[in-house]
Chain A
Amino acid sequence: MMHLLPPLPVAGPLAVAALLLATSRLLPARVPDTVALLTVLLATAACVAMAVGTAATPLTYWFGGWTPRDGLVLGVGFVVDQPGAALAAFIGLLFAATLVFAWGYYDEVHAHFHVLMLLFLAGMIGFCLTHDLFNLFVWFELISVAAFALTGYQLRQSALEAALNFTVVNTLGSYLMLAGIGLLYARIGALDFTGLGRGVAAHPGDVVVAAAFTLLASGLLIKGAQVPFHFWLADAHAVAPSPVSVVFSGAMVALGVFGVGRLTWTVFADSLPVHAVVHALLLGLGCASAVVGGLMALAQRHLKRLLAFSTISHTGILLAGLALLRQDATAGMLAYLVGHGLVKAALFMLAGILLALCGAIDEITLRGQGRALWPVGIAFGAGGLLLAGLPFGILQHGLGLIDAAAHAEGRGWVGPVLTVGTALTGAAVLRAGGRIFLNLGPDPGFESRAPTEADREKADRPLWLMLAPPAVMLLAAVVSGGPAAGFAMRAAGQAMQPDSAHILGGPSLPPTPFPAEPPGTGLAWISVAVAIALAGLLLMRHRLPRRALALNDRVSDAVVGSMARLHTGRIGDYVTWMVFGLALFVVSFVLT
């Protein structure tokens, strides 16, 4: 049975989406909701089954029955390994939770929302499972196009502007990726990961291979929203409908980083120059994103924009974990990916509840408005504390593994730098929570100068229906820590040696032993303490003596203000920074 599964979670949603589109005018209300949710659950079940069944060996599936001949791959293959299948299953669950959260919200337009969401899901699952570079690109592009359409869904002015920025920058990313594929094809004449990996190993130190990595990695980092490619994200995630933002922040961005990992572990597994650049530049970019995202999150008042910047920060942590290129760090990255997805998705849903029930998304406008919604407040606070690094659950296990791995690599500074990011984003969320649900912070500081707008979503669903998915997800993030970390460790081992024995032969990266003791919680407690203290300071501004206030304003303007001025919302600036990012790759290839 298992060997039949791989195409189904991709082809199934695609077929159902086509069917929904063809018959949309005939379907009564709620049918698209039901059909879409069922499809998502079935696809998820298939992915779960594969994640369980591939514990020992990955599952290889050749579309059209084109098994390789004499080592030459003629068709397209999926190689379903545990990390890919588990990630796909997680994404499926996230979609299911989102569809429950958005139940009945999108009745009006002929199931278009459900068609787009199903195509979106199929793209993401295909991206996780594929073993072919061009096929990866096709799914990447399907994800992108669905995301572009969903961003502008509400047709508000800022949604349209953000969707334009998002589309242009991400489409440039696609073209960068396609150019990278072209270069590799020119050099190697193959498209499957195994064949490309062999070809790369046969051309050590080749300029064409280095250029191809630069193009592919920048394309994926644009999707992964890492400094300096990150500018589009805050615009897009802030204005997309909240169910869509849930998927954007919970899964789509992380897939960009996972894609870089996939290529580094397979295609470029034997390229030392590429490993050196990953080790140096991507580690730096990840750390920079963690800090920049945190600072920018703190400077926001638009709640979804705040959460969007915190996504940049936490995705930076993922990239740093990836860039250490060790099994334990990769395990930490995978665990953190799932944990962050759960918590961030829950927070975006809570923001969506505020949009629906309080009719606003601006932290300062909403001050005290959430007092009646205390269950939402509790969940929001818990989410903030988890983001800050509360040492319970999967997020802390992930970050602990990354920190331990960095120490073992002699890069002890990585952990503290990433902790700055968690403390800042935690402080931002806690400040917003304190202001909205506890009526604190009458005197807003620099955040009052941040961009914002009035916004609301339909209040057509009962509170319990909207609150159930985020509550379940937060709970899952807390209780799943230990087992999830163990699972991630095994999955990381498979991810980093995908071509062992049955596909290629010979390990490419040395395995690292599982750390004997569980990760320390010292840094985590410091991070939580800093986050609470910082949030308290910002909320209690009006109690500060005048001199301290002036100092506070000067420091915050120097640090946060100058950075906020770079996030202009102008497409020309964003593309310039993208070109700058490409130049960074060139410089680091020359230097390493």
Chain B
Amino acid sequence: MIALLPWLVAVWLFGIGLYGIVTSRNFVHLIGCLSVVQASTYVLLLAVGYRGGAGAPIFYTHPPGTPAVDPVVQALVLTDIVIGAAVTALLLALALQLHKRRGTLDPDELRPLHR
């Protein structure tokens, strides 16, 4: 059962983040929920690369050949983090501009072209 836990955590984060987005009443909260969804991809990728009893894939003090976790998924997660930062910055800029123009951040009151 404990071996299922990482996968279940990832699924839970994805689902609860989606629920937050679906029910959100504030765009800043919604952007936070998007980050929760993203966190599930971190959990999934890092869990995929985990190796029981192994250390970090850095052979500065340990010689190469010491058991280490997968460095590839860690590199992927680094890319994922940059994507998260980039998208969050863009979304916050959009939300800021929108708040200036509409005075509201409720996604249900914002409807492109509908007026």
Contact = CB atoms under 8 A, between A and B. Distances in A.
Interface of A: 134, 138, 141, 145, 148-149, 152, 155, 157-165, 167-168, 171-172, 174-175, 178-179, 181-183, 185-186, 191, 235, 238-239, 302, 305, 451-453, 568-572, 575-576, 579
B115 A451 contact: yes
Contact of A238 (B76, B79, B110, B112): B112
The 7 closest A-B pairs by CB, nearest first: A569-B111, A451-B113, A162-B112, A186-B48, A161-B112, A235-B112, A451-B114
Contact of B94 (A158, A160, A302, A570): A160
Contacts of B40: 175, 179
B34 to A, nearest CB: 6
A486 B76 CA distance: 40
A572 B37 contact: no
- Decide if the interface of chain A is mainly helix, strand, loop or mixed: helix
A167 B94 contact: yes
Contacts of A174: 83
B9 interface: no
B101 to A, nearest CB: 5
- Decide if the interface of chain B is mainly helix, strand, loop or mixed: helix
A575 B37 CA distance: 12
Interface of B: 10, 14, 18, 21-24, 27, 30, 34, 37-38, 40-41, 44-45, 48, 72-73, 76, 79-80, 83, 86-87, 90-91, 94-95, 97-98, 101-102, 107-108, 110-115
A164 B91 contact: yes
A186 to B, nearest CB: 4
Given A160-B94, A167-B94, A182-B45, A570 B108 contact: yes
Contact of A164 (B27, B38, B80, B101): B27
B110 A149 contact: no
Contacts of B18: 172, 575, 579
B12 to A, nearest CB: 13
A305 B87 contact: no
B115 A164 contact: no
B22 A575 contact: yes
B87 A157 contact: no
B18 to A, nearest CB: 6
Nearest to A569: B111
A568 B76 CA distance: 36
B110 A161 contact: yes
Contact of B95 (A164, A238, A239): A164
A341 to B, nearest CB: 25
Contacts of B87: 145, 148, 167, 171
Given A145-B87, A148-B90, A572 B21 contact: yes
B46 to A, nearest CB: 9
A180 to B, nearest CB: 10
11 contacts: A148-B87, A163-B94, A164-B94, A179-B41, A183-B44, A235-B113, A238-B112, A451-B115, A570-B108, A572-B24, A575-B18
B37 A175 contact: yes
A159 B113 CA distance: 9
A564 B65 CA distance: 62
A452 B113 contact: yes
Given A163-B94, A171-B87, 4 more contacts: A145-B86, A175-B41, A569-B112, A570-B111
A69 B27 CA distance: 49
Contacts of B14: 175, 179
A547 B80 CA distance: 60
B80 A570 contact: no
A143 to B, nearest CB: 12
A159 B110 CA distance: 11
A251 B6 CA distance: 39
Contact of A182 (B22, B27, B41, B107): B41
Nearest to B27: A164
Contacts of B34: 168, 171-172
B90 A453 contact: no
A179 to B, nearest CB: 6
Contacts of B113: 158, 162, 235, 238-239, 302, 305, 451-453, 569
A148 B89 CA distance: 11
Contacts of B98: 157, 160-161, 164
Best-surrounded residue of A171, A182, A571 (most CB of chain B within 10 A):
A182
A175 B13 CA distance: 12
A171 B91 CA distance: 10
A305 B21 CA distance: 25
Contact of A575 (B21, B83, B102, B111): B21
A176 to B, nearest CB: 9
Contacts of B79: 134, 138
Contacts of A178: 41, 45, 76, 80
A572 B23 contact: yes
Nearest to A160: B98
B83 A141 contact: yes
A576 B72 contact: no
